[in-house]
Amino acid sequence: MRSIKIVSFSLLIVILMMASAARSQDLHFSQWFNSPLTTNPANAGFIPDADYRIGANYRSQYVNVLSVPYRTISIYGDAQLMRDRFENGWLGVGGVMLRDVAGSGNLTSTKIYGSLAYHQMLGVSSLLSAGFNLGWANKSINPANLKFPDQFNKTTGFFDAGVPTSVAFNNTSTSYFDMQVGVNYAYFPTDKIYVNGGFSVHHINRPKESFFLNTEGFDNRLAPRYIGFVNASIKLNEKVIVNPMAYYSNQARASEFTLGGNLNYNLSGDGVTQLLGGVYYRSADAVIPMLGFQWNGFRMTFTYDVTTSGLKNYNNSRGATEFSLLRHGFYNEDNSAMRQSLCPQF
């Protein structure tokens, strides 16, 4: 009985992936704050404690439910430019590459974006940013490895791959141009308080994403995705900085709301070595504990999605594992101490 439930659930996932032609949901990370360019293009060059950063993210999901789990990888980098060309402002440039492979049909998404943003100081305690992403995306699938409802044998309770299916793909690969825009605002009245909020719109050009031909009355364009976030850093003392945050995303009537926070604990006294820990809650879906370590400009964090929704009956509350690796630094380390800081530091 349990195996039948798992097979049924796997089939449901496959059907949902096929339905992505109409209402595809974007790739996402639980550590959205460690994926700045996919969260908001205005984050390009928005680096309060450095001049540049390079990062990578890895997410693995449904390992104990599907024979081929979902795996998402991203690599990104961004930097500040022309700080001496604008009065109290600068440009931010960046790029990100994402790749996701999902399910037995090898539903593969590959996305490459370039980012450009402008950042302008407003007085001495505010910063306003605006930016955009331009990129190319491709999605492909291998139908030969999929099983469909008309191949289900009610007598045996299993799928028969030898039975022909009526499902026919017109294409197994589709590519399109994509665009996102976003704005950010940061407020830092003292060196112990920093507040930042942003809003972005993804797929603003509504690109078509489908493995099938156009059907009258059926919209196979990507729905816009709206993302809003707010976060803060509060320096309690020379040992602890607290970072509360919230994130909201909505696309095609599907929404996600995450609330939580983490703290940085100063292990070395000079802030070079830090321990990070926290917990987040994604509404009606998962509790997400986080643990991390930072040393000399390198930061590694790990999160684990503990499923709280009805899916926990199938995955035993074991959702997704996620790793993030970040390296940030200054063009000239000798002058790093002289650079104005926009967020609390040890």
Note the pLDDT tens digit of each residue in 98-111: 999 876 667 889 99
Looking at residue 60, its amino acid is S
Q: How many angstroms separate the CA atoms of 145 and 222, rounded?
A: 25
What's the whole-number average pLDDT of the chain? 85
How do residues 51-76 score in pLDDT, each as one tens digit?
999 999 999 987 776 666 789 999 99
> 3-state SS string over 193-244?
EEEEEEEEEECCCCCECCCCCCECCECCECCCEEEEEEEEEEECCCCEEEEE
Structure tokens at 260: 């939580």
Domain edges within the chain:
2-338
What residues contact residue 335 under an 8 Å CB cut-off, 6+ apart?
none
Please check whether residue 97 is in contact with residue 112, taking contact to mean a CB–CB distance below 8 angstroms. yes
CATH code for the structural domain at 2-338: 2.40.160.40
Q: In this structure, what are the phi and psi dihedrals at residue 91, rounded to the nearest 5 degrees?
A: -100, 150
Q: How do residues 187-204 score in pLDDT, each as one tens digit?
A: 999 999 999 999 999 999
- Spatial CA neighbour of 256 closest among 293, 278, 285: 285
CA distance 274 to 270: 9
Provide the token pair at 239. 């040992």
pTM assigned to the model: 0.85
**H or E element, residue 331:** none
